[in-house]
Structure 1
């Protein structure tokens, strides 16, 4: 049996209108073959959409089909989606027209005069059914592929840091899908110490992390370039907690000024995470403010992370330590110690309105991934706003997913104490840097660091 493939050629060559011109069935186009109606139906080649899609992929403009305008308006850059959608919609139109032609009185009279009415009706119906089958197959494939493509298109970022409550906007951003809604997929990787934060970035293990300025400034002097992108905490939030038995011996007066209360540290063993860490720096700061010598009047002992400090404090190995919530609150709740300086509440004016904990990345990553980094920063802002408006739900998520070992009442107490210190803008200012640098001048360790905008910090990504 001889079969003419002109329809296939016209489809392959992109002449879709000619290949499927309504009302022109296979038998009419090829009357010279004298095929029987049944043979004509069997011998009609199925349409080959692959070549048409390939043809469409090379198109620079979309055919002027008014019915397609709304479909493509939102996704003009996704050419494969446009091509397949174009084929589907055109096929539906062609099928409808083909069915309509079978009930068109003028067409029926024309077919009757030629004596091919039965054959042409069968061919039109058969062609329409084939087209509709392709419609359903491709529509299913399009939905699956489009969903997968959307997921793959989101840039991925890893935030590495301590599991502390000040990272609540990161945790909530992940749980609530805020990062994804803003166009970036973020995962969290826990670190045992803040000292590991820069190393996590330099090794490529993470893309963004959190630390104080001095955690990155010395490395910046060595040629390791970082960029601070968000001023996360605008006050120092580590509370100073001392064991009750040590306070009783020191004759502690809770109503005395801060500098007088800090005198209770004389002769005590103060636990720190590591030398040079904020736990070390601010412990020495309060010793100096109380008129004491950190080298002679107290013992600073390296213990490790928050969990280790908490355990050492409860066992009596150390007499005092400084940490952000919730460990100091838990120690006070359990009757082991007393918070004698509440920095989370902004009790010390010199330590508020400063750049304390910042979010930073490498300078190279900031320059090469600006859209993703901007989405990340905006998500931090959005997460903080959501937290402020949804306190109860935020506490449930944090307790269930991130702080399972913290009692709900302690977590709530810490959460309420810490939340005011988290900046919803993330803005850096000259004044915030000056207060930070003044701390190091107080303890006799002036910092040589270039804080010109664009060198180590930027407000570029917080703008909306």
Structure 2
């Protein structure tokens, strides 16, 4: 069920007409987002841009894709080259433990959004169809070559976690190959240079629909218990940036909330709006990816300590060492709460599907 207390407010909240008319005379506030890949993990961002909601909030959003993964994207934020990191919370938690602090302030995905795709040959060789439990399926990775975006990336961590769940040593019992973004993965997969790869839709969908691959586990349906109901994608920024740009962060979160509400209530309009961001993806593939992603949308943008602890547990299992971070300090719901505050509201203007910034 949709959390009406959050999303009904977010869907209706935009600046007052008088304020908005004054804002049009001003230059939009520029905002840079560091994104690890072009996948559907970040679908609300694409939808908010395509539906025109970030423009309604007076924002000029630039998204930079870091094909080598989340670590590179977060480094850009820590170094001040980008304003906001979006991705797996475990990555900024690792940085916080090293004294490089960014604070999580909004959730975008509360289910594992990456997929591990195996080739038809690898699935046959490992008798994947005969394996029933998640642990048995995870053990199928033994001896395989699996492509990931980069060392320490979200995809790398997910593959390692699944391998460990299957009783494997990720550094000895399989070969994990950092290869870059989705284009490189699909090329290697199609040429048979790897047995599988890990990335989100629509890249994972291409491997299934076009190349006859199969999902090792269906994360979106909660088939893998350790990452079920898991805070997988969130926004994070340096605390000093959030303090100086709180209004900008609030406007972004408000736009994202409206986008998620539209994805739920008017999926056809939202689906049309994200199409221009994936010009090279065939409609049938994009439709299949969209259908899969709809089951992973969050019912609220806020976070709790439990979601942070699950990320810490996730890292502890992969890294064999537990992070020492102050759970109550690494995230805040202040931005989400401000975005939902009923201080400025009017009727949402009509939007043309597919509008881009």
> How much does 1:382 deviate?
0.9
Q: Cα gap change, 1:449/1:180 in structure 2, threshold over 3 Å: closer, same or farther?
A: farther
TM-superposed deviation, 1:444 = 4.7
- Check the 8 A contact 2:24/2:58 in 1, yes or no: no
Task: Note closer, same or farther for the CA distance 1:288–1:255 as it changes in structure 2 (3 Å cut).
Answer: closer
Question: 2:29, 2:133 → 1: CA distance?
Answer: 51
Q: Please give the alpha-carbon distance, in whole angstroms, between the structure 2 residues aligned to 1:410 and 1:253.
A: 23
Higher helix share: 1
- Counterparts of 1:147 and 1:338, CA distance in 2: 51
Q: 2:310 aligns with which of 429, 435, 445?
A: 435
Q: Would you say 1:204 and 2:80 are equivalent positions? A: yes
One of 108, 112, 116 as aligned partner of 1:236:
112
Query: Residues 51 and 270 of structure 2 are in contact (CA less than 8 Å); yes or no, is this contact kept in structure 1?
Result: no
1:259–1:289 contact (8 Å) kept in structure 2: yes
* 8 A contact 2:54–2:60 mirrored in 1: yes
The question of 1:152 aligning with 2:26 is answered: yes
On the 8 A contact 2:97/2:325 being kept in 1, the answer is: no
What is the TM-score when the length of structure 1 is the normalising length? 0.64
Contact residue 78 and residue 102 of structure 2 kept, 8 A = no
The offset of 1:149, in angstroms, is 6.3
How far the C-alpha of 1:324 sits from its partner, in A, is: 1.2
The match for 1:186 among 43, 46, 61 is: 61
The change in CA–CA distance for 1:192 and 1:288 in structure 2 (over 3 A counts) is closer
Structure 1 residues 155, 334: closer, same or farther in 2, change over 3 A?
A: closer
Tell me the secondary structure at the aligned position of residue 243 of structure 2. Answer: helix
After superposition, residues 225-264 of structure 1 pair within 5 angstroms as 225-253=101-129, 256-264=132-140
**In structure 1, which of residues 395, 403, 406 is the aligned counterpart of residue 281 of structure 2?**
406
Point out 4+ residue stretches in structure 1 off by more than 6 angstroms.
Answer: 146-149
* 2:245 is the counterpart of 1:381: no
State the number of aligned residues. 321
CA 452–195 in structure 1, closer or farther in 2 if over 3 Å, else same: closer
**Alignment partner of 1:419 out of 272, 283, 294:** 294
1:171 aligns with 2:31: no
1:285 partner SS: helix
State how far apart, in whole Å, the 2-side matches of 1:254 and 1:385 are. 40
Residues 148 and 156 of structure 2 are in contact (CA less than 8 Å); yes or no, is this contact kept in structure 1? yes
TM-score after normalising by structure 2: 0.82
- Greater shift, 444-453 or 263-272, is seen at 444-453
- In the alignment, the residues of structure 2 paired with residue 299 and residue 266 of structure 1 have an alpha-carbon distance, to the nearest angstrom, of 9
Q: CA RMSD in A?
A: 2.4
- Shift in Å at residue 360 of structure 1? 0.9
- State the SS of the aligned residue for 2:24: helix
CA 1:177 to 1:339, structure 2 compared with 1: closer, same or farther past 3 Å? same
Matches of 1:439 and 1:201, distance apart in 2: 23
Shift of 1:298: 1.0
SS at structure 2 position matched to 1:442:
helix
Most deviating of 247-256 and 264-273:
247-256
1:354 & 1:250 partners in 2: Cα distance?
28
Contact 2:28 2:60 in 1 (8 A): yes
C-alpha contact (below 8 Å) 1:326/1:414 kept by paired residues: yes
Question: For 2:95, which of 219, 233, 236 is the aligned residue?
Answer: 219
**How many Å separate the matches in 1 of 2:52 and 2:29?**
14
Distance 1:325 1:368, change over 3 A: same
Structure with more relative contact order (C-alpha pairs < 8 Å, separation 6 or more):
2
* Structure 1 residues without counterparts, runs of 5 or longer: 1-73, 78-145
| 1:311-326 alignment runs, 5 A limit | 311-326=187-202
Aligned with residue 361 of structure 1, among 237, 240, 251:
237
Superposed CA offset, 1:34-80 (max 9, x none)? xxxxxxxxxxxxxxxxxxxxxxxxxxxxxxxxxxxxxxxx97x9xxx
Asked whether the equivalents of residues 254 and 340 of structure 1 are also in contact (C-alpha less than 8 Å), the reply is no
Question: Distance in 2 between the 1:371 and 1:304 partners?
Answer: 35
Larger-Rg structure: 1
Structure 1: distance between partners of 2:105 and 2:194: 36
Greater alpha carbon shift after TM alignment, 371-380 vs 163-172: 163-172
Whole-angstrom CA distance in 1 between matches of 2:34 and 2:172: 37
